């Protein structure tokens, strides 16, 4: 059974967001990582890239397939999790601490389009 | 939607908690414990696969040898019982109907057992029937009557003897087989596989297939799904029909001419292959190794430094055994020499690589 962490916001495409001031810390949900299976590579953007809400910013690669990542917010990429370059399996092991990118958010009002933990749990049937 | 077919082991897959997916019209296990775990088990020890979806076609009668030679690229003239040959069935233009194994059975009169891809069973059987005119043979599609499991990995011979009590494995070299009986049912024990490791394929009745599978899994042999079957065959440089061989990818283009005997009696597609071998083909299948870890996937464009597209990826993985990003790609023949720099376009970027030999992994067969 997939876990859904309280206190985070979730997108339809299974990314989670934790807000830290104006910065959105973004990863993928336990449901997403379990659907993917063993993750072998994380394709991340460059720091300084600007993203629009819903735009793809990279991908997770499992043995079998690629799965694109979509930004839950608009903004500028200020950090990528370098740890995932050497240890992409961290996403399988602990999806809620293995963040992927940090984005300085341009419009916090966009957060209202995301789901609460309860709404996301209902969506995935957790 | 057509209902999916199931193999005799379907209930066991569900009980083992396999991740299931439709494949070639069957509801098949993709993985049980995980593709990486299963892949490594086959490379290091042993694993067992349900491959009962594969098709089995039997051909007997006085004209059987001449007929098989007519439709098959490899040479079955005077083939001895107990030998297995790999090759293809071709269309007249050299395109591939299917790739398959041919077994010469232990019968007084030559009779053959053909193992074909699950997705192509009907197409292959129709093709054989359509080309059987003038041959005194009986053709039977026996795919429903035969189950098949593949026991693969360096410990396969030991497992076969210790767990199943089958001692005949030790006498077999790679690409040979025996017909024996196991607990009262007929069994074809073949030292073949699709992983690049030593191993066996066991053809038997559906009920014996269930018992063989249960005995192996209960003894701790790792059940393996189609996910790692593909990663294993890929590393070993083996083609998958629909990706590296197809109606438009001939064996010459795929670098498999060694399985096409142009000097044997005429066969369907021979003329076209002879022309392709003499003149070369516009495209050739190559291996590409990328310098970074980005993963090439089927359908991604292959480019030159200036972005000109010169080909397309047919299968790609980040190789589990070799820890490299590798792919097969069909490219312009001018770009097919070993060492040629090529780029694969993956999402937003092009990643540099170079042409390498297709057999990425050094195989370990019993000579």
Q: What is the pLDDT of residues A64-84, one digit of tens each?
A: 888 999 999 999 999 999 999
CB contact under 8 A, A64 and B294: no
How many domains in chain A? 1
CB contact under 8 A, A41 and B30: no
Q: Among B218, B201, B205, B217, which Cα is nearest to B166's?
A: B201
Q: Provide residues of A within 8 Å CB-CB of chain B.
A: 37-38, 40-41, 43, 56, 58-59, 61-66, 68
Write down the residue that tokens 């009980």 correspond to.
B15
CATH number, domain containing residue A16:
2.40.50.100
Question: Quick check: is A112 in a domain?
Answer: no
- State how far the Cα of B204 lies from the Cα of B188, in Å rounded to an integer: 7
- The DSSP annotation for B24-85 comes to TTEEEEEESS-HHHHHHHHHHS-EEEE-TTSEEEEEESTTHHHHHHHH-SS--TTPPTTBEE
pLDDT of residue A50: 96
Mean pLDDT by 10 residues, chain B (367 residues): 89 97 96 95 98 98 97 96 98 98 94 98 98 97 98 98 97 97 96 98 98 98 98 98 98 98 96 97 98 94 98 96 96 98 94 97 88
Structural domains of chain B in order of their starting residue, each with its CATH number: 10-51+146-235 (3.30.1360.120), 53-141+250-281 (3.30.70.1400), 282-356 (2.40.30.110)
B5 vs A: CB within 8 A: no
Query: Which residues constitute the domain of residue A88?
Result: 12-107
Write the pLDDT tens digit of every residue in B94-114. 999 999 999 999 998 889 999
pLDDT of residue B367: 76
pLDDT of residue B108: 87
Question: Quick check: is A54 in a domain?
Answer: yes
CB contact under 8 A, B31 and A37: yes
Q: How far is CA B232 from CA B47, B115, B117, in A?
A: 12, 20, 17
**B residues 228-267 closer than 8 Å to A (CB):** 231
Residue B349 DSSP SS3:
strand
B20 vs A: CB within 8 A: no
Q: What angle do CA A50, A56, A59 make, to 5 degrees?
A: 115
Q: How far is B312 from chain A (nearest CA, A)?
A: 17
pLDDT of residue A64: 85
Write the pLDDT tens digit of every residue in A53-63. 999 999 999 98
Confidence check on the interface: ipTM exceeds 0.90, yes or no? no
Q: How far is CA B358 from CA B57, B196, B236, B237, B345, in A?
A: 30, 13, 8, 5, 20
Q: In terms of C-beta density within 10 A (0-12 exposed, 13-18 middle, 19 or more buried), how is residue B40 classed?
A: middle
pLDDT of residue B1: 55
Mean of the per-residue pLDDT values of chain A: 94
Task: Count CA within 13 A, CB hemisphere, residue B227.
Answer: 27
pLDDT at A21 over 60: yes
**CB pairs below 8 Å between A and B: how many?**
39
pLDDT of residue B109: 86
Q: What angle do CA A56, A60, A62 make, to 5 degrees?
A: 150
Residues with Cβ within 8 Å of A19's Cβ and at least 6 positions away in sequence, in order, are: A9, A25, A105, A108, A111
Q: Among B221, B226, B206, B223, which Cα is nearest to B164's?
A: B221
CB contact under 8 A, B295 and A61: yes
Q: How many CB atoms lie within 10 A of CB B1?
A: 4
Question: Quick check: is A71 in a domain?
Answer: yes
Question: Quick check: is A117 in a domain?
Answer: no
Nearest to A66 among B293, B295, B320 (CB): B295
Question: Quick check: is A24 in a domain?
Answer: yes
């Amino acid at each position: 059974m997939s876990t859904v962490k309280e206190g985070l916001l979730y997108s339809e495409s299974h990314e989670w967001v934790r807000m830290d001031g104006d910065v959105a810390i973004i990863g993928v949900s336990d449901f997403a990582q379990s659907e993917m299976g063993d993750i072998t590579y994380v394709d991340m953007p460059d720091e300084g890239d600007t993203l629009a809400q819903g735009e793809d910013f990279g991908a997770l690669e499992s043995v079998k397939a690629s799965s694109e990542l979509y930004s839950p917010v608009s903004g500028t990429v200020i950090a990528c999790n370098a740890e995932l370059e050497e240890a992409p399996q961290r996403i399988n092991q602990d999806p809620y601490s293995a963040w992927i990118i940090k984005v300085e958010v341009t419009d916090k009002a966009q957060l209202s389009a995301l789901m609460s933990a309860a709404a996301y749990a209902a969506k995935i049937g957790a | 939607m057509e209902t999916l077919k199931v193999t005799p082991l379907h209930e066991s897959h569900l009980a083992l908690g396999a991740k299931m997916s439709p494949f070639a019209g069957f509801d098949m296990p993709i993985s049980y414990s995980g593709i990486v775990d299963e892949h490594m088990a086959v490379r290091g020890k042993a694993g067992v696969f349900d491959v009962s979806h594969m098709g089995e076609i039997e051909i007997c009668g006085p004209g059987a040898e001449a007929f098989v030679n007519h439709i098959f690229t490899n040479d079955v003239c005077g083939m001895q019982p107990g030998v297995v040959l790999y090759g293809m069935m071709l269309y007249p233009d050299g395109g591939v109907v299917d790739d398959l194994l041919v077994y010469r059975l232990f019968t007084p009169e030559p009779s053959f057992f053909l193992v074909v891809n699950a997705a192509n069973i009907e197409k292959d059987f129709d093709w054989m029937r359509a080309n059987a005119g003038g041959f005194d043979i009986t053709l039977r599609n026996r795919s429903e009557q035969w189950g098949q499991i593949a026991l693969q990995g360096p410990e396969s011979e030991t497992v076969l003897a210790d767990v199943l009590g089958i001692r005949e494995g030790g006498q077999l070299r790679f690409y040979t087989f025996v017909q024996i009986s196991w607990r009262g049912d007929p069994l074809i024990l073949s030292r073949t596989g699709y992983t690049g490791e030593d191993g066996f394929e066991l053809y038997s009745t559906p009920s014996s297939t269930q018992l063989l599978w249960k005995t192996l899994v209960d003894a701790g042999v790792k059940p393996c799904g189609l996910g790692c079957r593909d990663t294993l065959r890929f590393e070993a440089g083996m083609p998958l029909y629909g990706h590296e061989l197809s109606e438009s990818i001939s064996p010459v283009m795929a670098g498999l001419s060694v399985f096409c005997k142009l000097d044997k009696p005429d066969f369907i597609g021979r003329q076209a292959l002879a022309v392709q071998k003499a003149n070369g083909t516009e495209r050739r299948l190559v291996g590409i190794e990328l310098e970074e870890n980005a993963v090439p996937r089927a359908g991604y464009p292959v480019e030159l430094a200036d972005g000109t597209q010169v080909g397309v990826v047919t299968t790609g993985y980040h190789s589990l055994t070799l820890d490299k990003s590798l792919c097969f790609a069909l490219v312009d023949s001018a770009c097919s020499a070993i060492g040629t720099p090529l780029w694969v376009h993956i999402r937003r970027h092009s990643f540099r690589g170079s042409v390498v030999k297709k057999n990425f992994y050094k195989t370990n067969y019993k000579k």
